[in-house]
Structure 1
Amino acid sequence: MHALPLSQSLAPDAALSHLTRKWDEDILDCLKRYIEVPAKSPMFERDWETLGFIDRVVTDAADWVRAQQIRGLQLEIVRLPGRTPVLFFEVAASGHASQQTVLVYGHLDKQPEFSGWRSDLAPWTPKYENGKLYGRGGADDGYAVYASVAAIQELQRQNVAHPRIVGLIETSEESGSVDLLPYIEALRPRIGDVALVVCLDSGAGNYDQLWLTTSLRGNITGTLKVEILTEGVHSGEASGLVPSSFRIMREVLDRLEDSRSGRLLPEIFHCAIPPERIAQARATAAILGNDSQTRFPWVHYDCGGTTQWALPTTQDPVEALLRRTWRPTLSVTGAEGLPPLDSAGNVLRPYTAFKLSIRTPPLVDVAACVAQMKRLLEDNAPYQARVTFEDVQGADGWNAPAMDDWFRSAVQQASQTYFGADCGYIGQGGTIPLMGLLSQGFPAAQMMVCGVLGPKSNAHGPNEFLHVPYAKRLTAAVAHVIASMPAGQA
């Protein structure tokens, strides 16, 4: 039996109505309980296994999936020794002739708390307000397993033919998916021949249409440490003779980055941007205007009776999109060796350490960048200080494959049906390591990479929220696209 065309196989009004109730009466409560659990990724919580928080959110999700009474469901929590667990499930094809598989992906591990939350909000205290569910991890992306399974449930509720579907929900994504590859290898025979990937860990340009992610940057993280003394000494006694470890740090970083422009200096960090992505950036800029600049909480202050606002690196909307999706950047995300201001005495500190995060363009070889970075930062240190770049993690970026006609038509129809607007295409500045792995393993697979991280949703930072009305429509759109996969898709 061949799957019927979507317009004949899925009743969209009924789907959205039922999924809205599902969210309101069931999924929201699940996500509130999920937010309460500080299931921090292993990079940020070394005692994750002893604390049991990751196991708890995986078990809770598994119990909920089992309770949905999905026909043909097989589910297990897979555990490899010493690694974070993976929730893996299979749903048998129903009335669909294709021998290929849909893979749905998400993760349940979380970023740490961060500071700056609104006085009435907290990372582990869920609050639902004006359609937004606040709390750490709800949008990034604890909702993914619940939305994916709800979409499958709706297909079965309407008796719509669907292909075989597998779910892979990991718990080390926020640590660079360090545990994922062994699971991919262990589960590869059970994953099958993937024709469509549905990844709900990405973002949205606005909340008015479906957004398909076309590229993701790679990421390199590591600790750069400069040591000049074995212990702190009186600054009045030593300064001028003993060089400041902070000044050495600045000099070392100048090898990597032009501090005036923010451009990374080694050419290995750069790549040519495909013309199609530049054209898509122009189209997206026409939709979003200056949103890429205005969506962030810029500092502003009074300056002689006028309000002064901090400025972005560019005022051009197209260049703004490209800078946060196709240009390499350096950020310092943490520091050590610097005492708090209220306890900072007149002491020349023995060392300075920075946590670095480098975002690399989608087509750049991260392993080659890491090798060059270590040489660039560590060799020939000023004043023969000890400079090390350690605890390095890296993940390649991803550029979406060409879209098949059926897939392009399906996402466009889903956006028009459930949002009343055309599908938008946007690159994202974040990293999802799995996407590169899947593109290598299944080069012909279509990639529905999307998510709820729209303006001000602020994943990883304070006041993270899940835009629930958007999530409801996105859930319906996922069902729509899965139902559209043609039988016998090659």
Structure 2
Amino acid sequence: MTTGGGMQHDEAVQLDSAALRDFVERKWNDEIVPALTDYIAIPAKSPMFDHDWARHGFIERVVTDAVDWVKTQPVKGLKVEIVRLAGRTPVIFFEAPATRSGSTETVVLYGHLDKQPEFEGWRNDLGPWTPKFENDKLYGRGGADDGYATYASITALAALDAQGVERPRCVGIIETCEESGSYDLLPYIDALRDRLGEVGLVICLDSGAGNYDQLWLTTSLRGLVGGDLEVQVLDEGIHSGGYGGIAPSTFRIMRQLLERLEDASTGDLLPKNFHCEIPLLRQREAAVTANILGDDVWKKLPWSCGQDGGSVLPTTTDPHEALLNSTWRPSLTVTGAAGLPALADAGNVLAPRTAFKLSLRLPPLVEATAAVAQLKSLLELDPPYNARVTFKPEAGAATGWNAPDLAPWLAGSLSEASRRHFGADVAFMGQGGTIPLMNTLKEGFPRSQFMVCGVLGPKSNAHGPNEFLHVPYAKKLTASVAEVIALAP
């Protein structure tokens, strides 16, 4: 088979890219958009955000709906099942045997169906569980992150089979714990390891895109360490007028602790062990991406007051530095707080305790387990005023990921797919988020190649308000995945 200059497989049917696009277009319009509309309406929050997930049944529902759809799809030899381990969120496993004789390697396709919580700030006519299709965008929680992946993966295989284009064996792993750090996933990988086979290519559809004009390949992912930092000085709240100046403020102590970790004026993380040397290739990729995207790297954020008239400024307006800051340098975010009453309920009281939820993104080459230990020691050692300070790490700390060098066949097929379906060259960039499975598979299958990509482009706003799936981009990405699979060894 040949698609115009790519790797050839003898005695195979030539891929018709136009017919492939037509197949994908029909499948998305007739089946996938309606299925994702139903999916968005289900509040299948990840177990970190819904401790009663099993009793509520929302995760079970989206898993069952996806499996029911997969069972109807025209993929040769396709088998699908829900795999369950006691006390853990379920995983979908599907398998499509090779249609190409002599093919010995397996393509693994990955996605997830669990979702982030609602968040505030949705447009008045939108909501996390009220899907709306508008201007080629499907709004609602989870469609882009990452509910579409199951449907796109199967459609890519069906599109090849519809033309009789031979392909290698393909298996899929669709988890329901990703937004909680994938702490349930490793036991499933161990249980399924023998069924995965010899993995030659991993395709992950849970990543992002720098724009909607070309195919984007993710070349690195940051790691993640999270946890709850609590400061307590009193057994109960007391009058701030009578005792302020005697009892130290828990909030002030919290500030002091965070200053051990972060330079408040710049946001730079202070511990040297939380940093790593940025590989020269990744620096060059960031420079090319900065030239492609320009100031859109930072201008497309939803800044307060807009871009003119006193808008908030980013940490840097240099696109190259901004990209490195968000992909290869550590960053700290406070994502939640406890012990602070709502503004309407705040009286003149010294709070007995204050707690912050910390989210620390680590560079791809920094080991997460060591970072957890250092973070706990740094925050708890010698607390100001001898306050009671505790840091409780979250389960699922994840080391980041740096992609292996691209094999010539994959580099060529990505370039061809991007030009054929987007009319532009493939582009490369790191992502600041975390996908724990990628590092697990890299360690378990060190010779495998990776196609990590996704639909999370500008303003798609995964995890925040007004999340949307850019449907035209998703269609082109689905077609591109099909072409890459067709050329896989």
Q: CA–CA distance in 2 between the matches of 1:355 and 1:316? A: 30
Q: Alpha-carbon deviation of 1:18?
A: 1.5
Q: CA–CA distance in 2 between the matches of 1:131 and 1:73? A: 31
Q: CA–CA distance in 1 between the matches of 2:49 and 2:358? A: 15
State the secondary structure of the residue aligned to 2:99: coil
State which of 63, 82, 88 in structure 2 corresponds to 1:83.
88
What do residues 221-264 of structure 1 show as CA deviations (whole Å, max 9, x unaligned)?
10000001111011111100000000000001111111111111
Q: Residue type of the partner of 1:468?
A: V
Map 1:292-441; keep pairs closer than 5 Å.
292-300=297-305, 307-393=309-395, 394-441=397-444
State which of 260, 265, 271 in structure 1 corresponds to 2:276.
271
Residue 206 in structure 1 maps to residue 211 in structure 2:
yes
Q: CA–CA distance in 1 between the matches of 2:242 and 2:28? A: 65
Q: CA–CA distance in 1 between the matches of 2:300 and 2:181? A: 26
State which of 159, 164, 177 in structure 2 corresponds to 1:159.
164
What do residues 424-456 of structure 1 show as CA deviations (whole Å, max 9, x unaligned)?
001000000000000001111110000000000
Residue 106 in structure 1 maps to residue 111 in structure 2:
yes
Q: Alpha-carbon deviation of 1:301?
A: 7.3
Change (3 A) 1:301 1:277: closer
* Structure 2 portions without partners, runs of 5+: 5-12
State the secondary structure of the residue aligned to 2:260: coil
Partner of 1:480: 483
State which of 2, 6, 15 in structure 2 corresponds to 1:5.
2
Q: TM-score, normalised by structure 2?
A: 0.97
CA RMSD of aligned residues (A): 1.0
Q: CA–CA distance in 2 between the matches of 1:148 and 1:206? A: 21
The answer to whether the 8 A contact 2:220-2:430 is kept is yes
Q: Residue type of the partner of 1:101?
A: T
Q: CA–CA distance in 2 between the matches of 1:321 and 1:111? A: 24
Aligned length: 480
Residue 48 in structure 1 maps to residue 53 in structure 2:
yes
Segment of structure 1 superposing worse, 384-393 or 165-174: 384-393
State the secondary structure of the residue aligned to 1:202: coil
The answer to whether the 8 A contact 1:6-1:483 is kept is no
Residue 58 in structure 1 maps to residue 69 in structure 2:
no
Partner of 1:141: 146
What do residues 259-304 of structure 1 show as CA deviations (whole Å, max 9, x unaligned)?
11111111110000000000000111111001111121001179xx
State which of 128, 136, 159 in structure 2 corresponds to 1:123.
128
Map 1:108-257; keep pairs closer than 5 Å.
108-257=113-262
Q: CA–CA distance in 2 between the matches of 1:177 and 1:312? A: 31
State the secondary structure of the residue aligned to 2:155: helix
State the secondary structure of the residue aligned to 2:37: helix
Q: Alpha-carbon deviation of 1:367?
A: 0.7
The answer to whether the 8 A contact 1:217-1:396 is kept is yes
Partner of 2:463: 460
State the secondary structure of the residue aligned to 2:228: strand
The answer to whether the 8 A contact 1:223-1:354 is kept is yes
Q: Alpha-carbon deviation of 1:9?
A: 2.3
Q: Alpha-carbon deviation of 1:378?
A: 0.6
Q: CA–CA distance in 2 between the matches of 1:120 and 1:289? A: 32
State the secondary structure of the residue aligned to 1:149: helix
Residue 446 in structure 1 maps to residue 466 in structure 2:
no
State the secondary structure of the residue aligned to 2:389: strand
Q: CA–CA distance in 2 between the matches of 1:216 and 1:136? A: 22
Q: CA–CA distance in 1 between the matches of 2:14 and 2:388? A: 66
Change (3 A) 1:130 1:301: closer
Structure 1 residue ranges (4+ consecutive) displaced by more than 4 angstroms after TM superposition:
none
Q: CA–CA distance in 1 between the matches of 2:305 and 2:172? A: 45
Q: Residue type of the partner of 1:406?
A: W
Q: CA–CA distance in 2 between the matches of 1:379 and 1:471? A: 49
* Structure 1 portions without partners, runs of 5+: none
